[in-house]
Protein backbone atom coordinates (compact mmCIF):
# COMPACT_ATOMS: atom_id res chain seq x y z
CA UNK A 1 0.00 0.00 0.00
CA UNK A 2 1.44 3.34 -1.01
CA UNK A 3 1.96 5.98 1.65
CA UNK A 4 0.15 9.30 1.36
CA UNK A 5 2.36 12.14 0.15
CA UNK A 6 1.43 15.46 1.65
CA UNK A 7 3.45 18.66 1.75
CA UNK A 8 4.34 18.50 5.43
CA UNK A 9 6.80 20.60 7.35
CA UNK A 10 10.01 19.21 8.85
CA UNK A 11 8.53 18.90 12.34
CA UNK A 12 5.60 16.82 11.10
CA UNK A 13 7.95 14.66 9.05
CA UNK A 14 10.05 14.00 12.16
CA UNK A 15 6.91 13.08 14.05
CA UNK A 16 5.83 10.65 11.35
CA UNK A 17 9.28 9.03 11.37
CA UNK A 18 8.90 8.48 15.10
CA UNK A 19 5.48 6.99 14.49
CA UNK A 20 6.97 4.68 11.90
CA UNK A 21 9.30 3.27 14.55
CA UNK A 22 6.34 2.99 16.90
CA UNK A 23 4.43 1.06 14.24
CA UNK A 24 7.24 -1.51 13.93
CA UNK A 25 7.18 -2.02 17.69
CA UNK A 26 3.41 -2.34 17.82
CA UNK A 27 3.19 -4.75 14.89
CA UNK A 28 4.56 -7.51 17.09
CA UNK A 29 1.44 -7.27 19.22
CA UNK A 30 -0.63 -8.55 16.28
CA UNK A 31 -4.33 -9.00 16.81
CA UNK A 32 -4.20 -8.35 20.54
CA UNK A 33 -3.80 -4.57 20.25
CA UNK A 34 -5.98 -1.74 18.95
CA UNK A 35 -4.07 1.46 18.20
CA UNK A 36 -6.25 4.57 18.06
CA UNK A 37 -5.14 7.90 16.60
CA UNK A 38 -6.89 10.99 17.92
CA UNK A 39 -6.63 14.75 18.37
CA UNK A 40 -7.42 16.82 21.44
CA UNK A 41 -10.59 18.01 19.71
CA UNK A 42 -11.76 14.41 19.09
CA UNK A 43 -14.64 14.80 21.54
CA UNK A 44 -16.15 11.34 21.67
CA UNK A 45 -12.93 9.35 21.70
CA UNK A 46 -11.35 11.71 24.22
CA UNK A 47 -14.32 10.99 26.49
CA UNK A 48 -13.97 7.25 25.92
CA UNK A 49 -10.26 7.50 26.69
CA UNK A 50 -10.88 9.41 29.91
CA UNK A 51 -13.66 7.07 31.03
CA UNK A 52 -11.77 3.88 30.12
CA UNK A 53 -14.85 2.39 28.44
CA UNK A 54 -13.16 0.88 25.40
CA UNK A 55 -10.36 -0.61 27.47
CA UNK A 56 -12.86 -2.42 29.68
CA UNK A 57 -14.95 -3.72 26.79
CA UNK A 58 -12.00 -4.86 24.70
CA UNK A 59 -10.07 -6.35 27.62
CA UNK A 60 -12.81 -8.95 27.85
CA UNK A 61 -11.87 -9.97 24.29
CA UNK A 62 -8.15 -10.07 25.08
CA UNK A 63 -7.44 -6.81 23.23
CA UNK A 64 -5.43 -3.94 24.66
CA UNK A 65 -5.89 -0.32 23.58
CA UNK A 66 -3.17 2.26 22.99
CA UNK A 67 -3.78 5.95 22.24
CA UNK A 68 -1.68 8.09 19.90
CA UNK A 69 -2.21 11.85 19.76
CA UNK A 70 -1.83 13.90 16.57
CA UNK A 71 -1.81 17.64 15.98
CA UNK A 72 -4.07 17.50 12.91
CA UNK A 73 -5.99 15.18 10.61
CA UNK A 74 -3.57 14.89 7.69
CA UNK A 75 -0.68 13.24 9.57
CA UNK A 76 -3.22 11.12 11.42
CA UNK A 77 -4.51 9.62 8.16
CA UNK A 78 -0.93 9.29 6.86
CA UNK A 79 -0.15 7.18 9.92
CA UNK A 80 -3.36 5.19 9.46
CA UNK A 81 -2.53 4.49 5.83
CA UNK A 82 0.98 3.20 6.50
CA UNK A 83 -0.23 0.94 9.31
CA UNK A 84 1.03 2.76 12.40
CA UNK A 85 -2.46 3.10 13.89
CA UNK A 86 -5.59 1.03 13.27
CA UNK A 87 -8.44 3.48 13.83
CA UNK A 88 -8.80 7.23 13.41
CA UNK A 89 -10.90 9.50 15.57
CA UNK A 90 -13.16 11.96 13.79
CA UNK A 91 -11.59 14.09 11.08
CA UNK A 92 -13.23 16.88 9.10
CA UNK A 93 -14.92 15.94 5.85
CA UNK A 94 -12.12 17.46 3.77
CA UNK A 95 -9.34 15.31 5.23
CA UNK A 96 -10.35 11.94 3.69
CA UNK A 97 -10.66 13.66 0.31
CA UNK A 98 -7.02 14.77 0.47
CA UNK A 99 -6.02 11.29 1.63
CA UNK A 100 -7.96 9.70 -1.22
CA UNK A 101 -6.30 12.01 -3.76
CA UNK A 102 -2.94 10.85 -2.45
CA UNK A 103 -3.82 7.20 -2.99
CA UNK A 104 -4.68 6.13 0.54
CA UNK A 105 -6.70 2.95 1.00
CA UNK A 106 -8.82 3.71 4.04
CA UNK A 107 -12.23 2.52 5.24
CA UNK A 108 -14.99 4.83 6.45
CA UNK A 109 -16.78 3.24 9.41
CA UNK A 110 -18.81 6.05 11.03
CA UNK A 111 -19.76 9.69 10.65
CA UNK A 112 -21.13 12.48 12.79
CA UNK A 113 -24.09 14.11 11.07
CA UNK A 114 -23.93 17.89 10.53
CA UNK A 115 -25.58 20.36 12.86
CA UNK A 116 -28.86 21.82 11.53
CA UNK A 117 -27.44 25.34 11.25
CA UNK A 118 -23.88 24.23 10.44
CA UNK A 119 -22.53 26.59 13.10
CA UNK A 120 -19.69 24.31 14.12
CA UNK A 121 -17.30 26.36 11.96
CA UNK A 122 -17.17 30.02 10.98
CA UNK A 123 -15.25 32.90 9.43
CA UNK A 124 -14.28 35.27 12.25
CA UNK A 125 -13.20 38.91 12.05
CA UNK A 126 -12.32 41.44 14.79
CA UNK A 127 -15.36 43.18 16.28
CA UNK A 128 -14.34 46.51 14.79
CA UNK A 129 -13.36 45.14 11.37
CA UNK A 130 -14.63 47.02 8.31
CA UNK A 131 -15.39 43.64 6.68
CA UNK A 132 -19.17 43.26 6.53
CA UNK A 133 -19.84 40.90 3.62
CA UNK A 134 -18.12 37.92 2.01
CA UNK A 135 -17.24 40.12 -0.97
CA UNK A 136 -15.14 42.24 1.39
CA UNK A 137 -12.70 39.34 1.72
CA UNK A 138 -11.19 40.19 -1.66
CA UNK A 139 -7.49 40.94 -1.33
CA UNK A 140 -7.48 40.19 2.40
CA UNK A 141 -5.11 37.96 4.33
CA UNK A 142 -7.07 35.05 5.82
CA UNK A 143 -5.85 32.46 8.30
CA UNK A 144 -7.04 28.91 7.62
CA UNK A 145 -5.84 25.42 8.46
CA UNK A 146 -4.88 23.57 5.30
CA UNK A 147 -7.20 20.69 4.34
CA UNK A 148 -9.41 21.24 7.40
CA UNK A 149 -13.18 21.53 7.07
CA UNK A 150 -12.78 25.28 7.48
CA UNK A 151 -10.63 25.29 4.33
CA UNK A 152 -13.63 24.13 2.33
CA UNK A 153 -15.88 26.63 4.11
CA UNK A 154 -13.57 29.40 2.90
CA UNK A 155 -13.68 28.13 -0.69
CA UNK A 156 -17.49 27.87 -0.59
CA UNK A 157 -17.81 31.36 0.93
CA UNK A 158 -15.59 32.85 -1.77
CA UNK A 159 -17.60 31.13 -4.49
CA UNK A 160 -20.81 32.55 -3.04
CA UNK A 161 -19.29 36.03 -3.23
CA UNK A 162 -18.15 35.53 -6.82
CA UNK A 163 -14.50 35.26 -5.77
CA UNK A 164 -11.84 32.59 -6.16
CA UNK A 165 -9.01 31.46 -3.94
CA UNK A 166 -6.68 33.57 -6.08
CA UNK A 167 -8.55 36.68 -4.88
CA UNK A 168 -7.31 36.33 -1.28
CA UNK A 169 -4.03 35.88 0.54
CA UNK A 170 -4.26 32.59 2.47
CA UNK A 171 -2.16 32.14 5.60
CA UNK A 172 -1.99 28.42 6.38
CA UNK A 173 -1.88 28.26 10.17
CA UNK A 174 -2.82 25.92 12.97
CA UNK A 175 -5.84 27.01 15.05
CA UNK A 176 -3.61 28.32 17.84
CA UNK A 177 -1.50 30.34 15.41
CA UNK A 178 -4.58 31.53 13.53
CA UNK A 179 -6.13 32.84 16.72
CA UNK A 180 -2.94 34.69 17.65
CA UNK A 181 -2.61 36.12 14.15
CA UNK A 182 -6.16 37.52 14.25
CA UNK A 183 -5.69 38.92 17.75
CA UNK A 184 -2.41 40.62 16.77
CA UNK A 185 -3.75 42.05 13.52
CA UNK A 186 -1.52 39.88 11.31
CA UNK A 187 -4.55 38.62 9.36
CA UNK A 188 -7.90 40.17 8.48
CA UNK A 189 -10.00 37.06 9.11
CA UNK A 190 -9.68 33.58 10.60
CA UNK A 191 -11.63 30.51 9.49
CA UNK A 192 -11.92 27.84 12.17
CA UNK A 193 -14.13 25.30 13.90
CA UNK A 194 -15.35 24.35 17.36
CA UNK A 195 -14.26 24.65 20.11
CA UNK A 196 -12.12 27.48 18.69
CA UNK A 197 -15.12 29.48 17.48
CA UNK A 198 -16.79 29.49 20.91
CA UNK A 199 -13.49 30.20 22.65
CA UNK A 200 -12.77 33.21 20.42
CA UNK A 201 -16.31 34.54 20.86
CA UNK A 202 -16.07 34.38 24.65
CA UNK A 203 -12.44 35.44 25.10
CA UNK A 204 -11.70 37.78 22.18
CA UNK A 205 -13.55 40.69 20.61
CA UNK A 206 -14.64 38.94 17.43
CA UNK A 207 -17.79 38.51 15.40
CA UNK A 208 -18.91 35.92 12.88
CA UNK A 209 -18.73 37.18 9.31
CA UNK A 210 -20.26 33.90 8.07
CA UNK A 211 -21.00 30.48 9.52
CA UNK A 212 -21.25 27.27 7.57
CA UNK A 213 -25.01 27.65 7.19
CA UNK A 214 -25.92 27.28 3.53
CA UNK A 215 -22.26 26.80 2.62
CA UNK A 216 -20.82 23.64 4.21
CA UNK A 217 -22.51 21.05 6.40
CA UNK A 218 -19.25 19.96 8.09
CA UNK A 219 -19.60 16.26 8.68
CA UNK A 220 -16.89 14.43 10.57
CA UNK A 221 -15.75 10.94 9.69
CA UNK A 222 -14.16 8.03 11.53
CA UNK A 223 -11.86 5.80 9.49
CA UNK A 224 -9.99 2.53 9.86
CA UNK A 225 -7.00 1.05 8.09
CA UNK A 226 -8.59 -1.18 5.46
CA UNK A 227 -6.66 -4.36 6.43
CA UNK A 228 -7.75 -3.87 10.05
CA UNK A 229 -11.38 -3.23 9.05
CA UNK A 230 -11.42 -6.41 6.99
CA UNK A 231 -9.82 -8.51 9.70
CA UNK A 232 -11.70 -7.13 12.72
CA UNK A 233 -15.28 -6.12 11.90
CA UNK A 234 -16.33 -7.14 15.40
CA UNK A 235 -13.99 -4.53 16.91
CA UNK A 236 -15.41 -1.84 14.63
CA UNK A 237 -18.90 -2.87 15.71
CA UNK A 238 -17.97 -2.39 19.36
CA UNK A 239 -16.28 0.97 18.74
CA UNK A 240 -19.24 2.13 16.64
CA UNK A 241 -21.69 1.25 19.40
CA UNK A 242 -19.57 3.07 22.01
CA UNK A 243 -19.35 6.17 19.80
CA UNK A 244 -23.15 6.22 19.42
CA UNK A 245 -23.65 5.80 23.16
CA UNK A 246 -21.10 8.50 24.01
CA UNK A 247 -22.59 10.94 21.52
CA UNK A 248 -25.98 10.54 23.16
CA UNK A 249 -24.40 10.90 26.61
CA UNK A 250 -22.76 14.24 25.70
CA UNK A 251 -26.13 15.67 24.70
CA UNK A 252 -27.84 14.33 27.82
CA UNK A 253 -25.06 15.42 30.24
CA UNK A 254 -23.61 18.65 28.79
CA UNK A 255 -22.23 19.99 32.08
CA UNK A 256 -20.49 16.74 33.03
CA UNK A 257 -19.03 16.40 29.54
CA UNK A 258 -17.75 19.98 29.75
CA UNK A 259 -16.01 19.25 33.07
CA UNK A 260 -14.15 16.34 31.50
CA UNK A 261 -13.30 18.03 28.19
CA UNK A 262 -12.32 21.49 29.49
CA UNK A 263 -8.88 20.43 30.79
CA UNK A 264 -8.24 18.46 27.58
CA UNK A 265 -9.08 21.47 25.40
CA UNK A 266 -6.46 23.84 26.75
CA UNK A 267 -8.21 24.44 30.08
CA UNK A 268 -11.31 25.94 28.51
CA UNK A 269 -13.98 27.00 30.96
CA UNK A 270 -17.07 24.82 31.15
CA UNK A 271 -19.42 27.42 29.66
CA UNK A 272 -17.27 27.66 26.53
CA UNK A 273 -17.14 23.88 26.14
CA UNK A 274 -20.91 23.64 26.54
CA UNK A 275 -21.39 26.33 23.89
CA UNK A 276 -19.09 24.50 21.49
CA UNK A 277 -20.70 21.12 22.10
CA UNK A 278 -24.15 22.62 21.60
CA UNK A 279 -23.19 23.36 18.00
CA UNK A 280 -22.34 19.74 17.19
CA UNK A 281 -24.89 16.94 16.87
CA UNK A 282 -22.57 14.11 18.00
CA UNK A 283 -25.09 11.94 16.18
CA UNK A 284 -23.01 8.94 15.06
CA UNK A 285 -24.37 7.06 12.06
CA UNK A 286 -23.11 4.56 9.46
CA UNK A 287 -21.62 5.85 6.21
CA UNK A 288 -23.51 5.03 3.03
CA UNK A 289 -22.14 5.50 -0.46
CA UNK A 290 -25.23 7.45 -1.48
CA UNK A 291 -24.61 9.99 1.28
CA UNK A 292 -21.16 11.02 0.01
CA UNK A 293 -22.51 13.80 -2.21
CA UNK A 294 -20.90 16.60 -0.23
CA UNK A 295 -17.61 14.71 -0.21
CA UNK A 296 -17.77 14.87 -4.00
CA UNK A 297 -18.55 18.60 -3.94
CA UNK A 298 -15.59 19.15 -1.62
CA UNK A 299 -13.28 17.16 -3.91
CA UNK A 300 -14.47 19.04 -6.98
CA UNK A 301 -14.07 22.43 -5.29
CA UNK A 302 -10.51 21.75 -4.16
CA UNK A 303 -9.58 20.38 -7.56
CA UNK A 304 -11.08 23.39 -9.34
CA UNK A 305 -9.09 25.66 -7.02
CA UNK A 306 -5.93 23.69 -7.92
CA UNK A 307 -5.50 22.65 -4.31
CA UNK A 308 -5.88 18.94 -5.14
CA UNK A 309 -3.43 17.49 -7.68
CA UNK A 310 -5.99 15.14 -9.21
CA UNK A 311 -9.73 14.65 -9.55
CA UNK A 312 -11.30 12.36 -6.93
CA UNK A 313 -14.30 10.05 -7.12
CA UNK A 314 -15.53 10.39 -3.54
CA UNK A 315 -17.73 7.30 -3.83
CA UNK A 316 -14.76 5.06 -4.71
CA UNK A 317 -13.97 4.25 -1.08
CA UNK A 318 -14.23 1.30 1.27
CA UNK A 319 -17.16 1.34 3.69
CA UNK A 320 -17.90 -0.68 6.81
CA UNK A 321 -21.49 -0.70 8.04
CA UNK A 322 -22.91 -2.34 11.15
CA UNK A 323 -24.94 -5.50 10.74
CA UNK A 324 -28.52 -4.72 11.69
CA UNK A 325 -30.31 -7.23 13.95
pTM of the model: 0.84
pLDDT tens track for 208-235: 999 998 899 888 999 999 999 999 999 9
Domain ranges of the chain: 10-113+219-308, 121-211
Is residue 197 within 8 Å of residue 204, measured between CB atoms? Answer: no
Q: Do domains 10-113+219-308 and 121-211 have the same CATH topology?
A: yes
DSSP states along 192-237: EETTHHHHHHHHSSEEEEEESTTT----EEEEEEHHHHHH-HHHHH
The fold for domain 121-211 equals D-Maltodextrin-Binding Protein; domain 2 (3.40.190)
The CATH code of domain 10-113+219-308 reads: 3.40.190.10
pLDDT tens track for 28-71: 345 689 999 999 889 999 999 999 989 999 999 999 999 999 98
Q: Which residues contact 236 (CB under 8 A, 6 or more apart)?
A: 87, 109, 224, 229, 320
Distance of CA 314 to the CA centre of its chain: 17
Say whether pLDDT at 202 is over 70: yes
pLDDT tens track for 79-105: 999 999 999 999 999 999 999 998 898
Say whether pLDDT at 200 is over 70: yes
> Residue 282: what pLDDT?
95
Q: How many CB atoms lie within 10 A of CB 201?
A: 17
Is residue 151 within 8 Å of residue 94, measured between CB atoms? Answer: yes
Amino acid sequence: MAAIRFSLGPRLRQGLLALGLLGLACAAQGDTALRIGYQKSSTLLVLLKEQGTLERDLAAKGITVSWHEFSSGLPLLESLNVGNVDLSADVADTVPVFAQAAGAKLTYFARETPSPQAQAQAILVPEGSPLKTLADLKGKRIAVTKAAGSHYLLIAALQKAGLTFADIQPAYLTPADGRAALENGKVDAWVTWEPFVASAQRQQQVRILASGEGLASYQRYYLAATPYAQAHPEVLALVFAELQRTGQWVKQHPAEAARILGPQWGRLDEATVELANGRRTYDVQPVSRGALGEQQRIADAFHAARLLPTAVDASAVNLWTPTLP
